[in-house]
Amino acid sequence: MKHTDNEKDPQVAGEHLVSESSKFAEYYPDHPPRTESALFRKTKKHWHELGTECYINHDCKGGIEIHHRYVEWAFAGAVDWNLMRELHPDFDWSTFNDATDFVDSIYNTLPLCEAHHRDPQCGVHHVPAPNWEIQRYVRGDYKLFPDKDNNGRP
């Protein structure tokens, strides 16, 4: 991880810029081309019919996307399902016949706006967990990003 600290921005009093870039390599289990399951279509319909807002901020703009929270589809073949069962006792395991039943369930999904889902600066698929979670709790008078508002908008 490349890390640069203490870059003072004279326009933001009381804050300093930390800039990081990271590169990682990780094996994914081989899998057939992804197809959307009927359960995932049902889960997405559930969230959209609720009129749900982004998990990070109720003020986000843009469409709501459904994020796989605990395990994404591409890693389903790498999961120890006994361990998952132990760590997630609140999931209705009576519905579990195969990985899809957990992966594409309401329980394993989270509604996010496009920015908090996939934006390189603030999306869950790109930034470390502490940098992503703070976006949910940041004060209104605090500036997180040098080139965007706290909702990831330029």
Which residues bind to Zn ion, rule: CB under 5 A? 54, 56, 60, 113, 116
**Nearest by Cα to 20 from 10, 42, 39, 5:** 5
Smallest distance, Zn ion to C-beta of residue 119, A: 9
* DSSP helix/strand/coil, 3: strand
Give min distance, CB of 148 to Zn ion, in A: 12
Element (H, E) at 132: helix 129-137
The CB-of-57 to Zn ion minimum distance in angstroms stands at 5
Of the two residues 88 and 148, which places its CB atom closer to Zn ion in the complex?
148
**Residue 105 neighbours by CB under 8 Å, 6+ apart:** 39, 43, 91, 95
Q: How far is the CB of 129 from Zn ion (least distance, A)?
A: 16
Nearer to Zn ion, 76 or 113 (CB): 113
Question: Which of residues 46 and 153 has its CB atom nearest to Zn ion in the complex?
Answer: 153
Asked if residue 110 lies in contact with residue 70, where contact means CB atoms within 8 angstroms, the answer is: no
Q: Where are the alpha helices (DSSP H) in 20-128?
A: 38-49, 81-87, 99-103, 114-118
Question: 76 vs 112, which CB is nearer to Zn ion?
Answer: 112
